[in-house]
């Protein structure tokens, strides 16, 4: 007769209020997605302009929905009302779940995660939307790493179905269950993956970006590459356009983190075109100039 440990099965936490840290490309999209699916979201940034942009993005997505007859005025108002922009940590204190989406910098994220833990309730769940930084490394800044995991949305959040949920070595099963349930409630498809540089999707995507960079150094024309990948190969967007959508700065930070994590596979070139563009302040769609110019 087996003497298996009895495990008390606890109910999965029902997330009724989300908080999103960072109102950039991703934070704005995540707050919108939460609100539109009926989970109100507090959205915090350090910058008033960023909060305005985050809200504007939500309004733009809803406006397009109205044009297509998929959203009515009441839904638009309810969704926008369900997003509370703030510059104050104290507004986060009642959140059941916090999704950190600040800049892709381990130091900044470490500080922000600690500040979050000091603010929220003991049983609140804390997630990071990092693209590449180790969840175990980020967990070191927390006192209760069991309530922490990665929750990696893709850009643009309202269109991309996948969410990678990244289990750190200390993440509890209850945390994973609650994040899976919340992902489904937010209308997305969760997959649970282990912690490694780039997780699953960026492990595939970043070698592709690196290969594209090398092709440019060999003299390829980026518009021709995009055209082939889009029109002939059939992908929704080519690598140059995709890098502009992601953000050249964010992509460059992420490529550095991957190079540190797996140097034998992802070592960077000094003259990587995306690094040169980042230094020249060509950040992609977010500042109107990347591979392409945006009006
Ligand atoms: P972004 O540059 O558009 O936005 C970052 C925001 O964080 C800015 O508004 C900035 O003001 C804010 N911020 C900085 N420090 C802060 C702090 N201490 N507290 C609160 N807000 C702060 O960046 P993004 O593209 O939205 O990326 C955010 C995160 O999402 C990164 O970890 C990135 O790797 C990840 N991510 C990005 C993409 C993408 O395609 N851009 C996709 C998936 C995941």
Domains of the chain: 18-194 (3.40.50.720), 203-285 (1.10.1040.50)
As beta bridge partners, residue 43 has 20, 85
Positions in the chain short of pLDDT 50: 1-2
- pLDDT (0 to 100) of residue 87: 97
Q: Is 152 a catalytic residue?
A: yes
| Structure tokens belonging to residue 272 | 């990587």
- pLDDT (0 to 100) of residue 7: 53
Ligand 1 proximity of 112 Cβ (cutoff 6 Å) = yes
Strand order across the beta sheet in which 189-194 lies: 83-86, 41-44, 18-21, 97-100, 125-128, 148-153, 162-167, 189-194
Ligand 1 proximity of 250 Cβ (cutoff 6 Å) = yes
ipTM score of complex: 0.98
CB 13 within 8 A of CB 123: yes
From 44, 109, 152, 282, active-site residue: 152
Q: Alpha-carbon distance 257 to 277, whole Å?
A: 18
Tell which atom from ligand 1 comes closest to the C-alpha of 111: 18
- pLDDT (0 to 100) of residue 6: 53
- Long-range contacts of the stretch 58-65 (C-beta < 8 A, 24+): 58/28, 58/31, 58/32, 58/83, 61/32, 61/158, 62/32, 62/36
């Amino acid at each position: 007769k087996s003497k298996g440990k009895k495990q008390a099965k606890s109910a999965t936490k029902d997330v009724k209020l989300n908080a999103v840290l960072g109102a950039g490309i991703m934070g704005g999209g995540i707050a919108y997605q939460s609100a539109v699916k009926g989970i109100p979201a507090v959205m915090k940034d350090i910058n008033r302009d960023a909060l305005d942009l985050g809200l504007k993005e939500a309004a733009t997505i809803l406006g397009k929905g109205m044009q297509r007859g998929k959203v009515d005025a009441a839904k638009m108002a309810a969704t926008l009302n369900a997003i509370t922009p703030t510059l104050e940590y104290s507004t986060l204190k009642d959140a059941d779940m916090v999704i950190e989406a600040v800049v892709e910098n381990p130091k900044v994220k470490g500080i922000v995660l600690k500040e979050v833990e000091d603010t929220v309730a003991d049983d609140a769940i804390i997630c990071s939307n990092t693209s590449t930084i180790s969840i175990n490394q980020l967990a070191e800044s927390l006192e209760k790493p069991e309530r922490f995991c990665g929750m990696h949305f893709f850009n643009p959040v309202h269109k991309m179905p996948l969410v990678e949920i990244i289990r750190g070595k200390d993440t509890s099963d209850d945390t994973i269950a609650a994040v899976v349930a919340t992902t489904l409630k937010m209308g997305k498809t969760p997959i649970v993956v282990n912690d490694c540089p780039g997780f699953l999707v960026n492990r595939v995507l970043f070698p592709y970006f690196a290969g594209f960079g090398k092709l440019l150094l060999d003299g390829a024309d980026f518009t021709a590459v995009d055209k082939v990948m889009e029109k002939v190969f059939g992908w929704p967007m080519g690598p140059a356009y995709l890098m502009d959508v992601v953000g050249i700065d964010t992509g460059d930070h992420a490529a550095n983190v991957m190079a540190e994590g797996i140097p034998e596979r992802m070592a960077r070139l000094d003259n990587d075109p995306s690094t040169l563009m980042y230094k020249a302040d060509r950040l992609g769609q977010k500042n109107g100039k990347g591979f392409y110019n945006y009006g």
